Amino acid sequence: MEYLVLARKWRPQVFEDVVGQDHVVKTLRNAIKLDRVAHAYIFSGPRGTGKTSVARILAKSLNCEKGPTEKPCNQCSNCKEITEGVSLDVREIDGASNNSVAEIRELRENIKFSPMSSRYKIYIIDEVHMLSGSAFNALLKTLEEPPAHVVFVFATTEIYKVPATILSRCQHFDFKRISVRQIADNLEHIAREEGIGISNAGLSWIAREGEGSLRDAQGIFDQVISYAGTDIKDSDVEDLLDLADRRLIFELSDAVFKRNAGACLKIIDEAYYSGVDIKHFYQMFLGHFMNLLTMKITNGEGVLDDIPDHETAELKELAQGASRDTIQRILDILMAEEDDIRRSMDPRVNLEYAVVRMAYLEPLIPVDEIISRMEGLEARLGGEGRQDIPVARKIRTDREAVVAESNQSGADERTDGDSLWQDLKSFIKEKNPPLNSKIDSGKFLSYEGDCLKIGFPRGYIFLDDIKSAPQMNLLTQLAAEFLGKSITIDIKLLEGDARNSNNTASNTASTTNNIKNEALRHPLVQKIMDVFEGAEIVDIRVNGSRRQ
C-alpha cells in the first residue's frame, strides 16, 4: 500500500477536525445551517493553516448526499470523490500555473453548465493572487453575478496582491497562525494513534519549528519518525532539528546577567563553529530577551502560552535574577544593533561587540533601594547637631528698631546682628526653603549703610551657587522685602579667625565642610545625580559626632 505522509493522512475531513480556526469554522457552519451560503469566499493566511482543507470540507458540506449539512458524512460518493480529488463538480485550480486570461475565459464558459451529479459546482482556486491582471478582470463579471449553482472559494497567502475589486465581491476569512500548544496537542494525538513514543518536550520542539503551520509541523514529525523510529528520545529531536542554538541562547543570557564577558565570547565561538546562522541566532536572542521582559512583567501568567513548560520554568528563573530595567537596557542594545547585524558582512563581530557591552553594563539600582541607601548614608553622616529653626518663629515687625540695634557697638552689635540674621533666615525659609538651606551656614558680619555683609567659610560647597547672579538677586530681593528698604548684600570669605577669635569653632566649620564635600563626591550621590536628570542638592547636614 502506498505510504501517506502524516499531513495527508491526518488532513481534516470535517469542521471539527480543523485546528486553530474556530472563527472561520463557526461562521461557515452557521451559514450552512441558516441557508446563507455566499457565492464567493476568499481564505487568506499563512501556509499550512487549513485554507484548502476548509475549502474541501465546505465543498463536501454543500454537496453531501445528506446535505447541505454542517457535518458531511464522508461515506457517500460525492464526499469520497471530493476527498480523493476526482469530483467532476469540484475543481481545484492552481492559480500559479493557471493564471492566464485564457484559463479564466474557459472557466467562464464552463460555469454555465449545471453540475454533473452534485448540488453545486465549486471552484477552489489556490494562490489566487498569482492570477494576472487580465485574468482578474475577466473574472470580475462572473464573480459578481455567478449562476446559482456555482460557488467560488479562493485561497491566498498574499492577500494584499488581490485587487480590491475582487475582495469586494467575496466574503473574506483571515486564517491565523496556529499556536505552538495547539500544534503540539495535534501531534500528540497523531503520535498516540500511530503508536509513536515521544515526550511532550519533543512535541513542543517540533511544533515550534512549524512556525504556526500545522502542515509544516506534521512534515517535520514525519522526518523525526523516519530518523528515530517509533521510540523517539529528546536527543533524537535535538540532533535532527539542531536545537543546540536554543541551549546556547539560555547559556549566553545567563553569562550576560553574570557579567562574564569571557564566557559570552566562548559561547558565541561555540555557536559559530557548530554551524549556527549568526543572524538567525541574533533574532532568537532578541526574542529570548523579549520573553524575559514579558516574564518579568507578567510572571508568565497567560502570556507565554506558546513556550513549553520546561522553558517557561527556565525563563522564570533567569528573569528573577535580573531587574526589569536591566532587561530593558539589554533589549535597547539588541534592537539598536539589529539593523547592523542584518546588513553586516561579519555578523559575528557585531554580536560579540553587543554582548560585551551588555556584560559590562553597570547594574541599575531601583529607586527604592537608592532611597534606602541614601537614608543609610544620612544615618552615617548624621544631622547638623542642631535643631532646625522653627518656621513659626516670631519675626519682629519693627524692622527699623532692629536696624538701629544692629548698628550699636561692642557686644550689642554682635548680639543684635545675629538676631537680625536669624530672623531674616526664618523669613527666607518661609519664602524659599532651598535658598535658606544654602545660606544657613553663613555668618552675620555687619549691617551698615544699607549693606548687609555675610561671611562663608572658604571651600563652602554652595558658595559659587549663592554668588551666582540669579541667587544673589533672589537673596537681595527677599532681604529688602524683610527690611522694608532697598539694600545690597556683600558676600565675604572667612579666613582663619578674622571674624572669630575662637580657633576651635573655625576648625569645626572647616571639618564640617570637608565632611560635606566628601558626601557630595560620594559615588552613590553622583549616580543619583546621573539617574535623576535636573536634580539639585539643596542641603547636606553633618552630625556633630563626625567633627573630630
Beta strands across the sheet bearing 488-494: 443-448, 451-457, 488-494
Question: Whole-prediction pTM value?
Answer: 0.60
Confidence of residue 55 (pLDDT cuts 50, 70, 90): very high
Highest mean pLDDT among 272-281, 501-510, 528-537: 272-281
Average pLDDT over residues 327-335: 88
Grid cell locating 459: 571651600
* Mean per-residue pLDDT over the chain, rounded: 81
The pLDDT value given to residue 298: 82
Confidence of residue 402 (pLDDT cuts 50, 70, 90): very low
Confidence of residue 535 (pLDDT cuts 50, 70, 90): low
How far apart are the C-alpha atoms of 46 and 174, rounded to whole Å? 9
Question: Hey, how many other C-beta atoms are within 10 angstroms of the C-beta on 296?
Answer: 21
Per residue in 458-484, pLDDT tens?
777 778 888 888 888 888 888 888 888
Average pLDDT over residues 59-84: 91
Q: Are residues 64 and 76 in contact, defined by beta-carbon separation less than 8 angstroms?
A: yes
Q: Backbone phi, then psi, for 207, in 5-degree steps?
A: -60, -40
In this predicted structure, which of 39-48, 51-60, 390-399 has the lowest mean pLDDT? 390-399
Confidence of residue 152 (pLDDT cuts 50, 70, 90): very high
Q: Please determine, for residue 129, whether its predicted confidence score (pLDDT) is greater than 60.
A: yes
The pLDDT value given to residue 30: 94
Q: Which of 152, 25, 149, 12 is nearest to 83 (CA)?
A: 12
Peptide bond before residue 68 is cis, with ω within 30 degrees of 0: yes
| Residue with the larger pLDDT of the pair 173 and 496 | 173
Q: What is the DSSP string of 427-471?
A: HHHHH-HHHHHHHTT-EEEEEETTEEEEEEETT-TTHHHHHSHHH
- What number of CA atoms fall less than 13 Å from residue 252's CA on the CB side? 28
Q: Please determine, for residue 187, whether its predicted confidence score (pLDDT) is greater than 90.
A: yes
| Type of residue at 298 | T
| Residue with the larger pLDDT of the pair 228 and 2 | 228
The pLDDT value given to residue 536: 61
Q: Which of 241, 201, 350 is nearest to 286 (CA)?
A: 350
Per residue in 77-121, pLDDT tens?
999 999 988 999 999 888 888 778 888 888 888 888 888 888 999
The CA-atom distances, in angstroms, between 346 and each of 24, 235, 340, 350, 351 are 45, 31, 10, 7, 9
How far apart are the C-alpha atoms of 450 and 485, rounded to whole Å? 8
Q: Please determine, for residue 424, whether its predicted confidence score (pLDDT) is greater than 50.
A: yes
Grid cell locating 286: 532578541
Per residue in 425-471, pLDDT tens?
888 888 888 888 788 888 888 888 888 888 888 777 778 888 888 88
Which domains, and CATH codes, for the chain? 6-174 (3.40.50.300), 180-241 (1.10.8.60), 245-359 (1.20.272.10), 401-531 (3.30.300.180)
Q: Which of 538, 443, 414, 436 is nearest to 482 (CA)?
A: 436
Q: Please determine, for residue 140, whether its predicted confidence score (pLDDT) is greater than 90.
A: no
In this predicted structure, which of 16-30, 482-496, 512-526 has the lowest mean pLDDT? 512-526
Q: Please determine, for residue 13, whether its predicted confidence score (pLDDT) is greater than 70.
A: yes
The pLDDT value given to residue 517: 61
Average pLDDT over residues 5-34: 92
The pLDDT value given to residue 399: 46
Q: Please determine, for residue 403, whether its predicted confidence score (pLDDT) is greater than 60.
A: no
For the chain, give the percent of residues with pLDDT over 90: 25
Q: Please determine, for residue 243, whether its predicted confidence score (pLDDT) is greater than 70.
A: yes
